[in-house]
Amino acid sequence: MRTDPIDTRQGHATEAILFGLVPMGDPRTAAEALHELQLLAETADFVPAGCMVQHRRHADPHSYFGSGKLEELAEVVKLAHSSAIICDDSLTPNQAKAIEAAVGVPCLDRSELILQIFAMHARTPQAKLQVELAALQYEMPRLRRRWTHLERQRGGIGVRGGAGEKQIDVDRNLLKTRISTINRDLEKIEEHKVREVQARPDLFTIALVGYTNAGKSSLMNKLTDAGVLAENRLFSTLDTRTRPWRLSGGRTVLLTDTVGFLRKLPHQLVASFHATLEEALHADLLLVLVDGSSAEAVEQMQTVDEVLETLGSQNLPRITVLNKLDLVTDRANLTPLWQIDPRAVPVSVLTGDGLPDLFAAIQNHLAAVEQRVELLLPHSAGALHGEIRAKATVLSEFYTEEGCLMTIQVSPALLGRLMAGGARVTEKNRPPSDSAADS
Ligand X SMILES: Nc1nc2c(ncn2[C@@H]2O[C@H](COP(=O)(O)OP(=O)(O)OP(=O)(O)O)[C@@H](O)[C@H]2O)c(=O)[nH]1
Binding site for ligand X (CB under 6 A): 210, 212-218, 230-232, 234-237, 260, 323-324, 326-327, 348-350
Q: How many other C-beta atoms can be found within 10 angstroms of the C-beta atom of residue 43?
A: 22
CB 245, min distance to Mg ion, A? 16
The C-alpha atoms of residue 336 and residue 204 are separated, in whole angstroms, by: 31
Nearer to ligand X, 185 or 305 (CB): 305
* Least distance in angstroms from the C-beta of 127 to ligand X: 12
Q: Nearer Cβ to Mg ion, position 304 or 414?
A: 304
CB of 347 to Mg ion, least distance (A): 16
CA distance 105 to 279: 42
Secondary structure of 18-51 in HEC code, one letter for each residue: EEEEECCCCCCCHHHHCHHHHHHHHHCCEEEEEE
From Mg ion, ligand X, none, which one binds at residue 328 (CB under 5 to 8 Å depending on kind)? none
Residue 337 beta carbon to ligand X: minimum distance, rounded to whole angstroms: 15
- Report the partner that residue 103 touches, choosing among ligand X, Mg ion, none (CB closer than 5 to 8 A by kind): none
Q: Is 403 left (phi over 0), alpha (psi -120 to 50) or beta?
A: left
Smallest gap from Cβ 255 to ligand X, in A, equals 13
- Report the partner that residue 212 touches, choosing among ligand X, Mg ion, none (CB closer than 5 to 8 A by kind): ligand X
Residue 224 interacting entry, from ligand X, Mg ion, none, C-beta within 5 to 8 Å by type: none
Residue 18 or 238 having the CB closest to Mg ion = 238
Closer to ligand X by CB, 64 or 235: give it: 235
User: Least distance to ligand X from the beta carbon of 274, Å?
Assistant: 16
Task: Pick what 121 binds: ligand X, Mg ion, none; C-beta below 5 to 8 Å, kind-dependent.
Answer: none
Q: Which is nearer to ligand X, 72 or 239 (CB)?
A: 239
* Closest to ligand X by CB, 213 or 272: 213
Question: Where does residue 389 fall: left (phi above 0), alpha (psi -120 to 50 degrees), or beta otherwise?
Answer: alpha
Closest approach of ligand X to the CB of residue 232, in Å: 3
∠ CA 130-277-239 to the nearest 5 degrees? 60
Q: Which are the contacts of 68, defined by CB distance < 8 A and separation ≥ 6?
A: none
Give min distance, CB of 270 to ligand X, in A: 15
**Closer residue to Mg ion in complex, CB, 86/238:** 238
Number of H helices, E strands in the chain: 17, 14
Tell me whether residue 110 or residue 216 sits nearer to Mg ion (CB atom).
216
Of residues 240 and 323, the one with the C-beta less far from ligand X:
323
Task: Give how far Cα 348 sits from Cα of 124, 187, 326, Å.
Answer: 30, 39, 6
Name the binder of 324 from Mg ion, ligand X, none, CB < 5-8 A by kind: ligand X
Shortest reach from residue 185's CB to ligand X, in Å: 24
Residue 339 CB-density burial (10 A; 0-12 exposed, 13-18 middle, 19+ buried): exposed
**Residue 245 site contact among ligand X, Mg ion, none (CB < 5 to 8 Å, cut-off depends on kind):** none
The CA-CA-CA angle for residues 325, 318, 200, to 5°, reads 115
349 binds, among Mg ion, ligand X, none (CB under 5 to 8 A by kind): ligand X
Identify which of residues 142 and 222 has a Cβ nearer to ligand X in the complex. Answer: 222
Residues 6+ apart with CB under 8 A from 265: 114, 307
Gap between the Cα atoms of 88 and 59, Å rounded:
11
Residue 362 binds what, of Mg ion, ligand X, none (CB under 5 to 8 Å, by partner type)? none
Q: C-alpha distances in angstroms, 360 versus 242, 319, 345, 355, 367?
A: 22, 11, 10, 9, 10
If contact means CB under 5 to 8 A according to the sort of partner, which of Mg ion, ligand X, none does residue 242 touch? none
At residue 282, φ and ψ (nearest 5 deg) are -90, 5
Cβ neighbours, 10 Å, residue 13: 12
- Which of ligand X, Mg ion, none binds 234 (CB below 5-8 Å, type-dependent)? ligand X
Q: Distance between CA 379 and CA 404 in Å, rounded?
A: 7
- Helical spans, DSSP H, in 341-423: 355-369, 384-391, 412-420
- Residues of the shown chain interacting with Mg ion in the complex, contacts defined by CB under 5 A: 216-217, 236-237
Give the residue nearest to ligand X (CB).
260
* Closest distance to ligand X from the beta carbon of 243 (Å): 14
Nearer to ligand X, 356 or 421 (CB): 356
Contact 46, 81 (CB under 8 A): no
Q: How far is the CB of 338 from ligand X (least distance, A)?
A: 18
